[in-house]
Amino acid sequence: MTIGQSFLAALEHEAAVTRKFLERLPEDRLTWKPHERSMSAGQLAYHLATTPGQVVEMASKDDAVAPDFSQGNPQPTSVKEVLEAPERSVQAVKQLLPKLDDTAMERTWRALKDGREMIAMPRVVFLRNIMLNHWYQHRGQFSVYLRLMGQKVPASYGPSADEMPEFMQQKAAVSWPATNVWPRACGARWRGARAWRSAACSAESASCSTATCAAA
């Protein structure tokens, strides 16, 4: 797997999580701010929705024009506008990221302002820090906005105060043993309290069955 492929896999997974957050934005709170110097909820949501595509477009050039942060972030006029943006953003990443092989990823990327170098770093560092880490940071920031607006906060890597992540809502496929004493014939190996791995009972003993293991 190339560097670009690993970044794309991470982004596609996180994009689905991020969309859950954006869907909680209330239509009547687009201009709400937690502080007069903060971005509005709509501005932050739109920035969160568009960041990956904007960053990968910058990263596709060896020398990119540094963004003008003095203009602020766009203010969307509807939640629909916010929710339509992530698809375009992810599609831009899918189109441009595969063109950057590992050699290109290790090449120095620069941001220029009026021809003057503002920052320089390996392209892989820029993409990891700004396309991914910076994106995650704003999602965490937006979760605070949701809480302050009285909205339920989605689960992400683990539970939020309002809900469990999907993998914890599903019925467990394996019944965990209540004891750490397992017959060696069943091929079970323990790695610490209540953490186990089995190479399938029948692998080492044809007479061993699930019921036998459970009763042991």
Residue 52 lies in a domain: yes
Spatial separation of the C-alpha atoms in residues 165 and 17, rounded to whole Å: 10
Predicted local confidence at residue 171, as pLDDT:
55
In a domain, 38, yes or no: yes
Structurally, the chain folds into a number of domains equal to 2
Encode pLDDT of 51-60 as tens digits: 999 999 999 9
Same domain, 134 and 88: yes
Residue-range definition of the domain harbouring residue 140? 3-169
State the DSSP code for 135: H
| Residue 174 within a domain | no
| Calpha distance 27→23 (Å, rounded) | 10
Name, in order, each residue with C-beta under 8 angstroms of 147's C-beta and a sequence gap of 6 or more: 153
Q: Are residues 130 and 190 in the same domain?
A: no
153: tokens are 């906060």
**26 shares a domain with 50:** yes
Assigned domain for 50 exists: yes
Residue 85 lies in a domain: yes
Residues 165 and 188 in one domain: no
- Please list the residues that pair with 120 across neighbouring strands: 110
Q: Across residues 142-168, what is the average pLDDT?
A: 93
| CATH code, 141 | 1.20.120.450
Residues 64-97: tens digit of each pLDDT? 999 888 888 999 999 999 999 999 999 999 999 9
How far is it between the farthest Cα atoms of the chain?
77
pTM reported for the whole predicted model: 0.77
In a domain, 175, yes or no: no
Q: Are residues 59 and 140 in the same domain?
A: yes
Q: Dihedral of the CA atoms 52, 156, 16, 133 (nearest 10)?
A: 10
Specify whether 86 is located in the same domain as 192: no
Q: Which residues of 6-44 are buried (b: 16+ CB within 10 A; e: fewer)?
A: ebbeebeebbebbbebbebbeeebbeebbeeeebbbbbb
- Cβ atoms within 10 Å, residue 134: 14
Residue 178 pLDDT exceeds 80 = no
Q: Are residues 89 and 132 in the same domain?
A: yes
- Residue 212 pLDDT > 60: no
Asked whether residue 177 is domain-assigned, the answer is no
> Residue 135's closest CA among 4, 17, 37, 32?
17
